[in-house]
Every structure is written in structure tokens, then in C-alpha cells.
Structure 1
Amino acid sequence: MTDQTLAAAPPRSGLTRAPGGIPPLVWLAIAWLVGMIAVALLADLISPYSYTAPNLRNRLVAPGHSLHWLGTDELGRDVLSRLIVSIRISLLIAFGASIMSAVIGTTLGFLAAYFRGFVEQVVLMLADFQASMPFLIMALAVLAFFGSSLPLLIGLMGLFGWERYARIARGLAISASAQGYASAVTQLGAAPTRVYLKHILPNIASTLIVSMTLVFPEVILLESGLSFLGLGVQPPMTSLGNMVGYGREYITRAPWIMLAPATTIVLTTLAVSILGDWLRDRLDPTLR
């Protein structure tokens, strides 16, 4: 194969790259996620109606109405207003749980890499236990026993997926500790906390960020499933899964009640997955 043939070969992803080396599909994913975050932050300002205000005279209005673009639900509540607030609640749970899971897993991974021996075996045993347990069943049991509240839901979701961060952080920390820069800083008298937080963590942050983008859509789907089953976000508060759960009873008469939040869930998880795959390809040197 000649150099000219190699130069004409298409990129591995098969996507036409835009300026800056970012494929158009990734730009669409970024634009969607930025839009979702903007909607979540400005929910109180852009909601046309109160998401809890019923209007029985306007029950089950179809989408396209001049006053209700996405229609109304069984109580006459504006679907667009409820969708906007639901995006804020679902993203709050997903972001809070993902960050909590990353902090817990990375901390336990660093402890396992530093102490080794008994501590490492305990962390790995807990990680194996967490990975083997059906998390949805455990979450259902906890919420059914203690009741559902937003702080409890975020804390419970924060325990999802921590074992992935723990394994990654442990392996990368052990590898980094064996390299020259970590050993040199340790020999200079730096405390272990400084070595791990100032030197090792920045070098493995890209891998942890990619892992977070993979866990984030799973947290959204898990919260949606719990809310769909009635043990997630409780009324009068609303979430995307909560809207899908209430809309299933009207799927034949008013499908827009369920389709609007369901479409948002699908597009959001798809956008995060696309962004995560692209970040993995860009940040992982073994895939270049």
C-alpha cells in the first residue's frame, strides 16, 4: 500500500470530521446536552405554566395547541411545563449521583492502591459484591422500606457504579506509583495525600471522566425505572421517569404524555453515550 493510498484512507470512525477534529454527530450530542443543562438551569424562567397547576377544562389537549405546544395531561397540566421541570430534577439526580459515585469509587481505589494487603482485599471484595448484586432490586427494597425522598434517592443512586471507578483508580494508581514521577515526589517527602491528589489523580482524570460519561446514562435510566415503578420521585415533584409512569395509562388516548419524556430520555442517554465514546477514542492512547 502506497503513501497516497494511506493518505486517502477514511478515518477509523467513518465520520466526516468538522473543523477541530470533532465529528458532526458529536457536535449534535454536545449541543443537545448543553440545551438540556440550559433548560434545567432556566426551568423557572422558561416554563409557560406552573407544572402542578391543573385545568380540568383543558384535559388531554393534543399537541399543537396555541397555548399548549406539547398538549396537556389527564389533569389539564401543561406537558411542556412538566417536561421542563422533569429535565431539571432528572439531571440533578443524575449529576449528583454520578459525582458521588466517582468520589466514592476513586477514594476506595486509592486506599486499596496505597495500603494494599488486607485493605485492598476488602475493597475488591466489596466491589465484586456490588457488581454481582442486582442494584435495581436493592434500590426497590431500600426505597420501599425507608420511603422515597430526593436526598435519599440521590444518595442511593450515588452507590451505583462505584466499583468501576474503584477498579480503574486502583489499577491506574498502582501503575502510576511504579513510575518515576510518583516515586520521585514520594522521595522528596511529599505526603501520600499530596501524591495521590496532586500528581496521580490529574494523570488518570481523563479515564475517570470517560467512565463517568458511561455511568451517567445508566443512572438516568435507573432513576427513570424507579420513578416509573412509583418508588422514585414522588408527587407533586416530577421527573422524566415519573411522567412516563403516569403516561402509560393514557398511551392509547393521549400518547404524547408518555412520548415527550420518553423521547427526552432516549436522546439524552444517546447524546451522553456518543460523547463518552468520542472522549474514550480521544483520551485513551491505546485506541489511537
Structure 2
Amino acid sequence: MADITASAAPVVASKAAPKPKKRIPLLVWFGIIWIGFIIVVAVCADWITPYRFTAYDLRNRLSLPFHPLHWLGTDELGRDVLSRLIISIRISLLVAFGATVISAVFGTLMGFIAAHFRGLAEQAVLMLADFQAAMPFLILALSVLAFFGNSLSLFICLMGLYGWERYARIARGLAISAGAQGYAGAVRQIGATPSRVYLRHILPNIASTLIVSMTLTFPEVILLESGLSFLGLGVQPPMTSLGNMVGYGREYLTRAPWIMLAPACTIVLTTLAVSLVGDWLRDRLDPTLR
């Protein structure tokens, strides 16, 4: 009898052993730290810039990096590259974050409308999404900016139209799936309004998928903003952005490459960090991969 008890003890202990926690990969830690650093720089831009980003220092034009007064050098007008880079990070993050939120909200709303009304409303939303996906967004952006002019608010709203069809398809499919599972119909039968059903019951269940989609869209918006600013149709002077700095520095690539390399490296590291964190979140939040 004692032998049976002794032999059963290890089995119970092995079943009660806690599961080993999954460690966060080193590259994901790099992405998290870099994103946090960029956010702090953007929020504190007004206090940490050594000079005004439009201030001229003609005596130190085209100064090399590690200059005693200008750590990242200056451009041909003597403007401090570090100060312009800090302000550019804030503007680029503002555009990317605002556009991503607008795209997610608008796309999710259109997806819920298609899932709720079905019929003609669903066909109209899907046709609009197909049209958005079929037309190159760069051509649409060039046309709108050339016709209506450019301002920061208009530019953010225009960038918010990028990728909304992804959220619409995701929200529509998941909302239809939630309705088929029965809990949405049960809440509706006890008197809940459609807005309460979608916002309080369906949206929290699909929020993880939408958040992952936002982390994957965010770097694309940064690259798109950089491309438009590089072409001269993005953020307009005297305001500056990362793409604006890259476009401005290409004329001095052979004489002063630091003007272009500083914002270019920032774009690469930021998009890489957001992509790494987004992939990690997708693996952690997707129940099929657990």
C-alpha cells in the first residue's frame, strides 16, 4: 500500500507543475524599447531639442556629425539636424498614429454596417472596399493633394483612408461569426440595442485581431507618408517630417550624407520595431497558435 502511494505521488506532482512561461524574444525587446524611446522623444520634443528646427547657423553650414555644437551635424543652411530629426519624429508619428486610428475606426464601422444590414448595404461596402483595394493609394493621394492643396489635417485624414478595407473585411467576418455563435443574438433578444451589441459584446471579442492589424498597418503608413513627403506632397515646409528630411537630403547625398542618413535610419528602425512587436502580438493573441 505504501508503494502504491509513493508511486502515485510523482504523478500528482508532475500534473500540478506550472507551465513554463514563454520568454519575450530579444528582438521583440528591442522593438518595445525603441518604440518607447521614439514615443518619449515625440512627446518631449519641445523640451529636448537643442535649437529651434528652423534656426540658422550660417557659420557652421554642413558641419560634420559630432560637432561640439551640433551632434548630428548641420545642413547647408546651418540648421541643426538633431533638432529637425526630433521634430520630424513627432510629426511622422502624429500622422501615422492619427491615420491608423482613423482607418481602424472607419473600417470597423463599415464592417459592422455590412454585417448588420446585409443585403444591398453589405454589397455596397464590399464594392467600395474592392475599389479601394484595386486603386493604387499613391495615385489617389497624389490626385487629392494636387486638387485640394495640402494641410496637416487634410493629409492625416487622407492617410486615414489607407487600409480601411482590411478592417472592414475583418470586422464584417468576425461580426457575422459572432452572430452565428449565438451570444450576440441572445443579448439582442433581451432588449439590447444594435449599438450596444456591437460595441459592448462583439467589439471586445474581436479587439485583439484589430489591434494586431493596426500594428501591421502602422509601419506601412509611416513608409507611405515618407514616400509622399519625399515627392514633395506630404508635410510642407517650414514643418518637417522624416520623409521630408530624406527628400531634402538627397540633393546633398555626396557632400553631406548625414542629412539623409539620420532620418532614413530612423524610418528603418521604427518600421522594423513596430513590425516585430506586431508579429509577436499576433502570435500571442491568436488562439489558434497557442
TM-score normalized by structure 1? 0.93
Per the alignment, residue 235 of structure 2 pairs with 233
Gaps of 5+ in 2: 1-19
Q: 1:40 aligns with which of 39, 42, 47?
A: 42
SS at match of 1:178: helix
Equivalent residues in 2 for 1:100-249, closer than 5 Å = 100-249=102-251
Q: 1:60 aligns with which of 59, 62, 65?
A: 62
Per the alignment, residue 49 of structure 1 pairs with 51
Give the CA deviation at 1:187.
1.1
Corresponding residue pairs, total: 271
Per the alignment, residue 87 of structure 2 pairs with 85
Instruction: Give the Cα–Cα distance (whole angstroms) in 2 for the partners of residues 110 and 125 of structure 1.
Output: 15
Runs of 4+ aligned structure 1 residues displaced above 4 Å come to none
Instruction: Give the Cα–Cα distance (whole angstroms) in 2 for the partners of residues 54 and 19 of structure 1.
Output: 54
Q: Given residue 63 of structure 1, which amino acid in structure 2 is its aligned partner?
A: P
Give the CA deviation at 1:180.
2.6
Give the CA deviation at 1:19.
7.1
Q: What whole-Å deviation, never above 9, does each CA across 1:122-168 have from its counterpart, x for those lacking one?
A: 00000000000010011011111111110010000000000000000
Q: 2:26 aligns with which of 24, 34, 40?
A: 24
Per the alignment, residue 9 of structure 1 pairs with none
Instruction: Give the Cα–Cα distance (whole angstroms) in 1 for the partners of residues 240 and 91 of structure 2.
Output: 7
CA spacing shift, 1:278–1:191, aligned 2, 3 Å: same
Instruction: Give the Cα–Cα distance (whole angstroms) in 2 for the partners of residues 144 and 251 of structure 1.
Output: 28
Q: Given residue 37 of structure 2, which amino acid in structure 1 is its aligned partner?
A: G
Instruction: Give the Cα–Cα distance (whole angstroms) in 2 for the partners of residues 251 and 195 of structure 1.
Output: 56
Gaps of 5+ in 1: 1-17
CA RMSD of the aligned region, Å? Answer: 1.1
SS at match of 2:53: coil
Q: What whole-Å deviation, never above 9, does each CA across 1:4-25 have from its counterpart, x for those lacking one?
A: xxxxxxxxxxxxxx97631121
Give the CA deviation at 1:178.
1.1
Q: What whole-Å deviation, never above 9, does each CA across 1:42-65 have from its counterpart, x for those lacking one?
A: 000000000001111111000011
SS at match of 1:74: coil
TM-score normalized by structure 2? 0.92
Instruction: Give the Cα–Cα distance (whole angstroms) in 1 for the partners of residues 63 and 22 of structure 2.
Output: 45
Q: Given residue 136 of structure 1, which amino acid in structure 2 is its aligned partner?
A: L
SS at match of 2:76: coil
Per the alignment, residue 9 of structure 2 pairs with none
Per the alignment, residue 257 of structure 1 pairs with 259
Per the alignment, residue 285 of structure 1 pairs with 287
Q: Given residue 54 of structure 2, which amino acid in structure 1 is its aligned partner?
A: T
Instruction: Give the Cα–Cα distance (whole angstroms) in 2 for the partners of residues 22 and 204 of structure 1.
Output: 24
Per the alignment, residue 276 of structure 2 pairs with 274
Instruction: Give the Cα–Cα distance (whole angstroms) in 1 for the partners of residues 203 and 280 of structure 2.
Output: 21
Per the alignment, residue 11 of structure 1 pairs with none
Q: Return 177-186 or 37-46, whichever deviates more.
A: 177-186
Q: Given residue 113 of structure 1, which amino acid in structure 2 is its aligned partner?
A: A
Tell me which structure has the larger Cα radius of gyration: 2
Instruction: Give the Cα–Cα distance (whole angstroms) in 1 for the partners of residues 96 and 103 of structure 2.
Output: 10
Give the CA deviation at 1:252.
0.3
Give the CA deviation at 1:29.
0.1
